[in-house]
């Protein structure tokens, strides 16, 4: 009974702010009352018409796409190499290294980026690619964690031994066994990566240039204006995060299946 | 050597140690004839699995040669060796259906789909899984998974079949049935087979020949009967079956003194006064009613365990103890150690 109450209380705590945002985004006027008065969809139209929000929306999508792709391209081989490393000590060391960004505040990374990339030799501060590069560093640990844990759970090494004894080459093993067996954890990893990347604020706020601000960075501005506008803009971010997570995962899953089928 | 007598698999003085450790196998010489089922038996950590991995090619010997039909394969890759391997936890590919798992070795070899189909269906028939061809591994029982693993390991006509503790993950009832199943399939395919186990019952009931390993070395090789009836040392005697081991002092050519009393024995060829070890299997000791006779001792029951078909009784006799296995239900008052049940052992 106690557990149920705790769960219920937690769910309320989780859902109420989102519900309020939804209500607020359709409310005409919300000043000093508990709930807004009147209803309208005008706030959404306003957000959609706002050029800086439109630009940020596209920038965020681009950053997520690049981040997810890079996580698969870098993360998968890395996870595979890490898993295949015989030396326990090396494995532990690499694990500590790739988990570092989790402990590191994104601020620190951003300061590093600003120092390095505002120089004349590397003047890339403010570009989409640099934003994505930072997001990759921040999200890769979560992707690796999901995939490496799954490799251990599946006993991938034995599966590979089996495939090898059955006559499969290294490339065939990767395409026939490793990729398809890991498809669930690759999807799960990408959902986390997409969700983190969409919502990332600290790093993006410092590193994004004026032209390539991501959605959360622009969103901050909305809170200086009308409540309804801010709520609508936030609801859009929530939807975007959901869509990006599911869409990114589905796309990657489809690609994995196609690659496996083609091999 | 002619091809008739040439072993399908031969190890010549093979040694391998895992880098930086003492673990591994040392100086193993072993031959498996075509169609023969050799069981490699030993306690955990004795190097059984290493032996299998050496033959399969997952590890390469530090020294010595491995031959298949006379051909030196010591340096060949696992793929090139073409051994069918059944792993302890079966290692079925979780995302492939039963028939896809079995077809996999044919698929990577580029066998035509039509041929693939009939070879897979033949193999599924052999292991009696035709009905379950479209299942995923997770939808199968342990015994069924085991049979898929066997079919997959045999479908590409491997040069040898290697089974790593194939029954250890099964419950007792399935295990006994699967034991016969493995034997039947191995016979049907007439393939040189090495089966790894730590279970002596499995070894005794399955093997044409047993290879007993201890700390990476061959302890004894022979038929199940040879190992049970003629163990070379205490380790073999204790590992295969149960054994009463007694310290003995030689009195004359056919008499020794033991803690349980004076024993008349077969000729042992040792000089009077020397020490040796005597072994008697528990089931060879007889429960008798008469208190007199050769090698008859008064016994006092210390523990009596009833197993249905048999009874294990531990008794004190003289200053020693004996373990007895008997089908008799009577009280145990006197026991007889038949002279021909007595064996002499080297120290381990």
Distance of CA A137 to the CA centre of its chain: 11
Q: Which residue has the higher pLDDT, A27 or B54?
A: B54
Structure tokens at A98: 């790739």
Tell whether A161 is within 8 A of chain B (Cβ). Answer: yes
What per-residue confidence (pLDDT) applies to A164?
Answer: 95
Give the CA diameter of chain A.
Answer: 73
Number of A/B CB contacts below 8 angstroms equals: 60
- How remote is the C-alpha of A121 from its chain's centroid? 30
The secondary structure of residue A31, as a DSSP letter, is: S
Distances (CA, A) of B55 to A158, B30, B80, B193, B206: 16, 11, 12, 11, 20
Checking if the pLDDT of A75 tops 80, the result is yes
- pLDDT given at position A257: 60
Residue A205 predicted with pLDDT over 50:
yes
Question: Cα distance from B93 to chain A (closest Cα, Å)?
Answer: 7
* pLDDT at A222 exceeding the cut of 50: yes
A169 contact residues in B (CB cutoff 8 A): 79, 108
Q: Can you give the pLDDT at residue A118?
A: 83
Q: What is the pLDDT of residue B348?
A: 47
pTM: 0.80
Residues of chain A contacting residue B73, judged by C-beta atoms under 8 Å apart? none
- Nearest Cα of chain A lies from the Cα of B45 at a distance, in angstroms, of 19
A158·B87 Cβ contact <8 A: yes
Q: How far is A239 from chain B (nearest CA, A)?
A: 32
Record the tokens describing residue A183, joined without a space.
């498809």
What is the secondary structure of B98-142 as a DSSP string?
HHHHHHHHHHHTT--HHHHHHHHHHHHHHTT-GGGTT--GGGS-H
Q: Is the pLDDT of residue A223 over 90?
A: no
To probe the interface with B, which of A86, A165, A176 has the most B CB atoms within 10 Å? Answer: A165
**Do β-strands B275-280 and A37-39 pair in parallel, antiparallel, or remain unpaired?**
unpaired
Shortest alpha-carbon distance between residue B219 and chain A (Å): 29
Given B87, B93, B105, which is nearest A167 (Cβ)?
Answer: B105
Cα A230 to Cα B212: distance, rounded to the nearest angstrom: 77
Q: What per-residue confidence (pLDDT) applies to A163?
A: 95
Residue that wins the pLDDT comparison between A115 and A31:
A115
CA A44 from centre of chain = 24
Contacts of B225 (CB under 8 A, 6+ apart): none
For chain B, list residues whose CB is within 8 angstroms of any CB belonging to chain A: 56-58, 78-79, 82-85, 87, 89, 91, 93-95, 104-105, 108-109, 152-153, 156
Which residues does chain A have within 8 Å of residue B109's beta carbon, measured at their own beta carbons? 167
pLDDT band at A152 (very low <50, low <70, confident <90, very high): confident
ipTM score of the complex?
A: 0.82
Question: What pLDDT score does A249 carry?
Answer: 67
- Strands across the sheet with B320-326, in order? B300-306, B311-317, B320-326
Give A134-146 pLDDT, tens digit per residue: 999 999 999 999 9
Which residues in chain A are contacts of B94 at CB distance < 8 A? Answer: 154, 159, 181
Query: What pLDDT is recorded for position B1?
Result: 46
B108 contact residues in A (CB cutoff 8 A)? 163, 166-169, 172, 176
Instruction: Calculate how close chain A gets to B212, using CA atoms only, in Å.
Output: 25
Q: Which of A162, A176, A180 sits opposite B91 (nearest CB)?
A: A162
pLDDT above 80 (res A246): no
In this complex, is the C-beta atom of A85 within 8 Å of any C-beta atom belonging to chain B?
Answer: no
Over residues B147-189, the pLDDT tens digits come to 999 999 999 999 999 999 998 888 888 888 889 999 999 999 9
- Helix ranges (H only) for chain A are 2-26, 42-49, 51-84, 88-103, 106-117, 128-154, 156-165, 170-172, 179-181, 183-199, 202-207, 215-222, 227-262
A161/B79 CB distance under 8 A = no
Give the mean pLDDT of chain A.
Answer: 87
CA R_g for chain B: 24
What is the mean pLDDT of the segment spanning A5-18?
93
What is the rounded CA–CA span in Å between residue B105 and residue B16?
28
Question: Taking CB atoms and an 8 Å limit, are B91 and A159 in contact across chains?
Answer: yes
Q: Do the Cβ atoms of B67 and B10 come closer than 8 Å?
A: yes
Q: What tokens were used for B300?
A: 């006092």
B/e letters for A101-128, b = 16+ CB within 10 Å, e = fewer, are: beeeebeebbeebeeebeeeeeebbbbb
For A178, the token pair is 């490793």
The rounded distance, in Å, linking the Cα atoms of B242 and A206 is 76
Instruction: Read off the pLDDT of each residue in A197-206 and give the average, rounded to a whole number.
Output: 91
Q: Residue B79: which of A162, A164, A181 has the nearest Cβ?
A: A164
Q: Which residues of A touch B152 (CB under 8 A)?
A: 166
Lowest mean pLDDT among B61-65, B66-70, B285-289, B329-333: B329-333
- A169, B95: Cβ pair inside 8 Å? no
User: For residue A180, what is the nearest residue in chain B, using CA coordinates?
Assistant: B95
Nearest to B109 among A163, A164, A167 (CB): A167
- pLDDT bin (cut points 50, 70, 90) of residue A32 is confident
**Mean pLDDT, residues B228-234 taken together:** 89
Whether pLDDT at A263 is above 50? no
In 3-state terms, what secondary structure has residue A24? helix
Nearest to A173 by CA among A57, A260, A103, A94: A260
Q: What is the mean pLDDT of residues B55-78?
A: 94
Residues of chain B contacting residue A181, judged by C-beta atoms under 8 Å apart: 93-95
Radius of gyration of chain A (CA): 22
Q: How far apart are CA B189 and CA B181, in angstroms?
A: 12
CA gap B10, B51 in Å, rounded: 12
Q: Any chain B CB within 8 A of the CB of A88?
A: no
| Mean pLDDT value across residues A111-115 | 89
Residue showing tokens 């008997």: B326
Question: Quick one: which of B221, B222, B205, B223 has its CA closest to B213?
Answer: B221
Q: Which residues contact B36 (CB under 8 A, 6 or more apart)?
A: B8, B192, B193, B208, B209
DSSP states along A125-181: TB-HHHHHHHHHHHHHHHHHHHHHHHHHHHTHHHHHHHHHHTT--HHHIIIIIIHHH
- Selection from A140, A138, A121, A123 nearest residue A214 by Cα: A138
**Residue B348 and residue B277: Cα distance in Å, rounded?**
10
* Contacting residues of A for B18, CB less than 8 Å apart: none
* Residues 6+ away with beta carbon under 8 Å from B295: B263, B264, B336, B337, B338, B339
Task: Quote the strand ranges of B190-273, DSSP E.
Answer: 193-197, 209-214, 217-222, 244-252, 255-258, 261-264
- Using the beta-carbon criterion (under 8 Å), do B89 and A176 form an inter-chain contact? no
B93 closest CB neighbour out of A159, A169, A172 = A159
Residues from chain B that touch A161, judged by Cβ atoms under 8 A, are 58, 78, 85, 87, 91
Average of per-residue pLDDT across B100-108: 96
Please give the pLDDT value at position A258. 55
Q: Give the rounded distance of the alpha carbon of B277 from its chain centre.
A: 25
β-sheet bridge partners, residue B336: B286, B296
Q: What is the mean pLDDT of chain B?
A: 91
pLDDT on residue B48: 92
For residues B230 and B237, the answer to whether their CB atoms sit within 8 Å is no
How far apart are the two ends of chain A, measured CA to CA in Å?
53
Contact A163 B95 (CB under 8 A): no
Mutate to test the interface with B, among A166, A174, A182 (most CBs of B within 10 A): A166
Instruction: Work out the pLDDT band at A39, boundaries 50, 70, 90.
Output: confident
Continuous H helices in B136-223: 142-154, 172-189, 200-206
Predicted pLDDT of residue A91: 84
Question: Minimal Cα distance from A166: which residue of B?
Answer: B105
Chain B residue numbers touching A165 (CB-CB < 8 A): 56-58, 78-79, 83-85, 153
Asked if the C-beta of A90 comes within 8 angstroms of chain B's C-beta atoms, the answer is no
| Residue B29, φ and ψ in degrees, nearest 5 | -120, 130
């Amino acid at each position: 009974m106690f557990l149920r109450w705790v769960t219920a209380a937690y769910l309320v705590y989780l859902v109420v702010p989102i519900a309020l945002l939804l209500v607020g985004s359709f409310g005409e006027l919300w000043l000093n009352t508990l709930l807004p008065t009147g209803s309208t969809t005008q706030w959404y139209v306003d957000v959609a018409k706002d050029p800086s929000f439109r630009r940020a929306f596209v920038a965020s999508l681009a950053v997520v796409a690049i981040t997810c792709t890079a996580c698969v391209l870098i993360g998968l081989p890395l996870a595979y190499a890490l898993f295949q490393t015989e030396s326990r000590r090396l494995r532990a060391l690499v694990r500590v290294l790739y988990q570092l960004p989790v402990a590191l505040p994104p601020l620190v990374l951003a300061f590093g980026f600003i120092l390095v990339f505002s120089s004349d030799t590397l003047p890339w501060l403010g570009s989409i690619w640099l934003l994505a590069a930072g997001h990759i560093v921040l999200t890769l640990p979560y992707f690796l964690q999901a995939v490496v844990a799954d490799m251990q759970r599946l006993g991938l090494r034995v599966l590979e031994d089996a495939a090898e004894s059955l006559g499969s080459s290294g490339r065939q093993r990767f395409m026939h066994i490793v990729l398809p067996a890991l498809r669930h954890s690759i999807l799960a990893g990408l959902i986390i990566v997409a969700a983190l990347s969409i919502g990332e604020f600290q790093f993006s706020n410092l590193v994004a240039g004026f032209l390539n601000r991501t959605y959360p960075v622009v969103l901050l501005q909305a809170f200086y204006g009308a409540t309804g506008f801010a709520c609508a803009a936030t609801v859009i971010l929530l939807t975007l995060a959901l869509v990006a997570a599911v869409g990114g995962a589905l796309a990657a899953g489809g690609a994995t299946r196609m690659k496996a089928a083609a091999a | 050597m002619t091809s008739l007598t040439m072993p399908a698999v031969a190890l010549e003085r093979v040694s391998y140690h895992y880098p930086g450790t003492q673990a591994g196998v040392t100086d193993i010489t072993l031959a498996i004839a075509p169609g023969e089922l050799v069981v490699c038996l030993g306690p955990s950590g004795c190097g059984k699995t290493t032996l299998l991995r050496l033959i399969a090619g997952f590890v390469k010997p530090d020294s010595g040669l491995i031959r298949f039909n006379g051909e030196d394969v010591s340096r060949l890759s696992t793929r090139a060796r073409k051994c069918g391997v059944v792993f302890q936890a079966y290692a079925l590919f979780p995302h492939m259906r039963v028939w896809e798992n079995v077809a996999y070795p044919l698929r990577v070899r580029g066998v035509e789909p039509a041929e693939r189909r009939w070879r897979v269906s033949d193999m599924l028939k052999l292991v009696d899984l035709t009905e379950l061809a479209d299942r995923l591994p997770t939808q199968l029982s342990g015994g069924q998974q085991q049979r898929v693993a066997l079919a997959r390991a045999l479908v590409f006509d491997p040069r040898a079949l290697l089974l790593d503790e194939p029954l250890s993950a099964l419950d007792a009832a399935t295990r006994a049935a699967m034991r016969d199943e493995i034997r039947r399939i191995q016979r049907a395919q007439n393939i040189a087979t090495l089966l790894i186990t730590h279970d002596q019952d499995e070894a005794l009931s399955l093997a044409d020949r047993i290879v007993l390993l201890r700390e990476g070395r061959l302890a004894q090789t022979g038929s199940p009967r040879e190992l049970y009836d003629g163990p070379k040392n205490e380790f073999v005697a204790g590992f295969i079956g149960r054994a009463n081991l007694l310290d003995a002092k030689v009195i004359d050519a056919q008499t020794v003194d033991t803690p349980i009393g004076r024993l008349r024995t077969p000729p042992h060829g040792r000089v009077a006064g020397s020490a040796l070890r005597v072994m008697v299997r528990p089931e060879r000791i007889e429960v008798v009613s008469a208190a007199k006779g050769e090698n008859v001792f008064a016994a006092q029951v210390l523990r009596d365990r009833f197993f249905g078909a048999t009874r294990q009784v531990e008794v004190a006799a003289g200053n020693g103890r004996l373990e007895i296995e008997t089908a008799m239900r009577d009280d145990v008052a006197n026991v007889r150690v038949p002279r021909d049940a007595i064996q002499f052992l080297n120290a381990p």
